[in-house]
């Protein structure tokens, strides 16, 4: 996980909660006194839903930044230990689940710290190998028993985002930041693809460069399961455009075993993510608060349009 301090923290949302080192120290001391005094340090991250703090050398504390983020922590705490043995890449290991307290009103959690650098700052040296690893990860997650799993934020029809996509197409196009005609054609092609007809499957839902860790040039871990849940697994094909390029996209598709319709819905999810993230976080039409995520979004849209 990235470890350079973020100072001062950037507020990306109007309803974002106040979270700082002093709060984390109080929560840990009150609820997990065995870890009190280890030292707390904010972790720089382009993540939008959670704040992270190093706790000593081996632990990390993760707290939802938004009032609606309460479910994420509990879902990870319950399901990740059950799924981890079946996955080919390392995933976060929850160690303790905290309750509201010290003026903070949501559950929070302590995890083992994972060494590595996110793939935005340190892309895999061998993208073909990374494509195969990601494809195997997607297959393993999709194949695990999803009985009783909660629905994923990105597990429903991609078409449910139509209004947000249209707004982004309109505004980014008017600002000259997008070939709106080409992007609209791709989006409308996606809307004609049949919805998922299978049983709900597990999906990570947010396989972006910032949620992948590398070490010594190799992909080693998948983090941030905030969108994790069950549904149509198509959103987990987004790495074809968010991470990979023309030379490795088909390697990933083969490893992921994606049929034509699921692949096209995955393309739609990549376009939907790219347009709406740039529209919200970018500095042309958005609030300009997350330049890393906006850069990933722009790159994603460019890859989707180049792959027509």
Summarised one tens digit per residue, pLDDT across range 217-271 is 999 999 999 899 999 999 999 999 999 999 999 999 999 999 999 999 999 999 9
Q: What pLDDT, on a 0 to 100 scale, did the predictor assign at position 46?
A: 67
Does residue 102 have a pLDDT over 80? yes
The pLDDT confidence band at residue 44, using thresholds 50, 70 and 90, is: confident
Q: What pLDDT, on a 0 to 100 scale, did the predictor assign at position 298?
A: 97
Q: Please, which residues have CB within 8 angstroms of residue 183's CB and are 6 or more apart in sequence?
A: 169, 173, 271, 275, 301, 304, 305
Q: What is the pLDDT of residues 128-157, one digit of tens each?
A: 999 999 999 999 999 999 999 999 999 999
- pTM (2 d.p.): 0.93
The pLDDT confidence band at residue 174, using thresholds 50, 70 and 90, is: very high
Share of the chain above pLDDT 90, in %: 87
The pLDDT confidence band at residue 8, using thresholds 50, 70 and 90, is: low
The pLDDT confidence band at residue 72, using thresholds 50, 70 and 90, is: confident
Chain-wide mean pLDDT for the chain? 94
Q: What pLDDT, on a 0 to 100 scale, did the predictor assign at position 263?
A: 98
Q: What pLDDT, on a 0 to 100 scale, did the predictor assign at position 246?
A: 96
Q: What pLDDT, on a 0 to 100 scale, did the predictor assign at position 11?
A: 72
Q: What pLDDT, on a 0 to 100 scale, did the predictor assign at position 2?
A: 41
Q: Which of 136, 87, 132, 141 is nearest to 244 (CA)?
A: 132
- Read off the pLDDT of each residue in 178-201 and give the average, rounded to a whole number: 97
The pLDDT confidence band at residue 9, using thresholds 50, 70 and 90, is: low
Which residue, chain included where needed, has tokens 């703090």?
Answer: 53
């Amino acid at each position: 996980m990235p470890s350079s301090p973020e100072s001062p923290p950037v507020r990306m949302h109007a309803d974002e909660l106040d979270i700082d080192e002093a709060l984390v120290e109080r929560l840990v001391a009150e609820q997990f006194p065995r870890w009190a005094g280890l030292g707390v340090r904010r972790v720089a991250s382009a993540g939008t839903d959670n704040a992270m703090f190093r706790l000593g050398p081996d632990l990390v504390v993760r707290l939802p930044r938004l009032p609606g983020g309460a479910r994420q922590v509990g879902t990870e705490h319950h399901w990740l230990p059950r799924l981890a043995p079946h996955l080919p890449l390392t995933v976060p290991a929850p160690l303790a689940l905290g309750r509201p307290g010290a003026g903070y009103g949501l559950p929070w959690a302590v995890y083992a710290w994972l060494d590595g650098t996110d793939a935005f700052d340190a892309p895999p040296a061998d993208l073909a190998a990374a494509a195969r690893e990601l494809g195997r990860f997607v297959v393993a997650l999709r194949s695990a028993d999803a009985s009783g799993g909660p629905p994923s934020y990105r597990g429903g029809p991609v078409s449910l985002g139509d209004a947000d996509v249209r707004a982004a197409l309109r505004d980014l196009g008017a600002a000259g930041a997008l070939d709106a005609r080409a992007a609209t054609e791709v989006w409308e092609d996606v809307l004609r693809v049949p919805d998922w007809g299978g049983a709900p499957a597990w999906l990570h839902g947010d396989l972006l460069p910032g949620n992948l860790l590398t070490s010594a040039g190799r992909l080693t871990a998948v983090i941030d399961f905030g969108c994790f849940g069950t549904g149509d697994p198509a959103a987990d094909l987004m790495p074809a455009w968010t991470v990979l390029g023309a030379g490795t996209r088909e390697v990933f598709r083969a490893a992921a075993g994606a049929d034509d319709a699921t692949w096209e819905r995955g393309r739609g999810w990549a376009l939907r993510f790219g347009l709406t993230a740039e529209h919200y976080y970018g500095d042309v039409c958005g609030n300009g608060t997350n330049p890393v995520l906006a850069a990933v979004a722009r790159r994603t849209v460019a890859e989707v349009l180049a792959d027509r």
